[in-house]
Chain A
Amino acid sequence: MHNCKRTKEEILDLALAESPVDASQMLQELNSCSACWEEFASTRSTLYVSAQALRSNVAAEQFWGGYHARLRSKIMTHAQNDERQTQRLPLNLRAWSAWKTFAASSIRLPAPVALAALLLLALPFVALLKTARATTVPAKEQAVVQIQKVEVPVMQEKIVTRVVYVEKKSDKLLRRGSTNSEANSDLPNSVATVRSGSARKALDLVGFKPTDQVQLKIIKGSYPNEK
């Protein structure tokens, strides 16, 4: 069944030999429809005429000699300029220029090879990420520090200075004490030396009799800070 719309869509492809259209089948289709045939004929003729016109309308033969000479001179000048520029550049700039050329250069790789290379590069990274995740210990909850104030009773010591007044013995008693010391001279030497070192004390305590009851007299107000 001939379909003009579909055929006309394929006419351009047939005329330009573009798509894998079956030419013999298409020609049969075109023969069956005069409108389609006319369309095809017009398209092909237009292409033919325009191709001939374009090919013929370029330049005369004598033009090319001059054109090539001009082109050659331009290429030579360009090449010389390039060379001069390269020579003028100091070594470090030349190295930089070479590095830039290297950095801008590219290589063609088949897609599967490129993909494989990418995967190879990505694998260690992924593995690294996985191990990093595995070793990561979940962070513990931070301990909440509560500060409690506990009042502890502290024993406070109070230094109390007391003045004890002791009654002095009478001179008589002192004298008696001295005579007693003379009487003790027949004692062994060691005892005598001890006694002579603490002679005054010994004398003071001679005849001292401790009382049964100690009567302490505390006088308040002897010190200004005393309560």
Chain B
Amino acid sequence: MSNEDDLIRRAQAGDVEAFCALAQAHERRIYALAYHYCRETEDAEDLSQEVWLKAYAAVRTFSFESSFYTWLRKITINSFLNYQRKTRPWHRLTDSFQDEQTTTSTSQRTTIDFEPALQNQLVVEKVMRALAEVTPQQRLVFLLKHLEGMTYEEIARELDCSAGTIKKSISRTIKKLREKLGVREEPENLLSYTATGLLR
């Protein structure tokens, strides 16, 4: 039995400390998803904590058929979709982008471990702006595919739509990103990326 399984079983038996240990193991991924989804630190914290509280309430139903993170991600996606349906109008994200840019510099968030091509904060901001301009659903699909590495089929199952819709959604987001970033890569560079496995 792995350490995580042991923690899950203890959490299922009502051990809060064990559940906190589980949370510590996955909290960064969940928070990152939440942050990129709602794009505000406060909202991201609220949303990610809501995910954990829901997970705590439902941990007894976890049946070890999938990995704990897959189960947790399901709760996360449902929480995100519910959050989307709540009062917050999403156009606010685009409207507040300028405000956020000014606060970002003073906030705790920093850019760490940049690749040479991304050493400019401007690139990050362009990516964020592009993601702010697509719909929440398209943003979520892109994040699930690109950050979480889920397949079209898996995302389609979670969001209750077809794999074709997912592919189209990702294509639109990438188009938007390309417009914002204006990326033009030299074939030689690309080949070197492929060779070194950087593009996988």
Mark A residues whose CB is within 8 Å of B: 12-13, 15-18, 27, 37-38, 40-64, 67-68, 70-72, 74-76, 78-79, 82, 105, 108
Contacts and interface: CB of A to CB of B under 8 A. Distances in A.
A186 B118 CA distance: 175
- Indicate the member of B19, B127, B152 with the most A CB atoms within 10 Å: B127
A56 B121 CA distance: 10
A17 B41 CA distance: 32
Given A12-B171, A27-B194, A49-B181, 13 more contacts: A12-B167, A44-B199, A45-B190, A49-B117, A54-B32, A56-B113, A60-B112, A67-B31, A70-B45, A75-B19, A75-B23, A75-B53, A75-B56
Interface residues of B, number: 62
A64 B28 CA distance: 8
Interface of B: 16, 19-20, 23-24, 27-28, 31-32, 35-36, 41, 45, 48-49, 52-53, 56-57, 61, 63, 65, 108-115, 117-118, 123-124, 126-128, 130, 143, 145-147, 151-152, 167, 170-171, 174, 177-178, 181, 183-187, 190, 193-194, 198-200
Closest 4 CB pairs of A and B: A45-B185, A53-B127, A45-B183, A41-B185
Nearest to B41: A59
Contacts, number: 149
Contact of B124 (A38, A56, A79): A56
Given A16-B145, A59-B31, A52 B52 contact: no
A22 B156 CA distance: 24
A12 B170 contact: yes
Contact of B52 (A41, A62, A71, A108): A71
A75 B35 CA distance: 20
A15 to B, nearest CB: 8
18 contacts: A12-B171, A18-B152, A27-B194, A37-B187, A41-B184, A42-B183, A44-B190, A46-B174, A46-B177, A54-B127, A54-B143, A56-B124, A57-B111, A62-B108, A72-B23, A74-B49, A78-B57, A105-B61
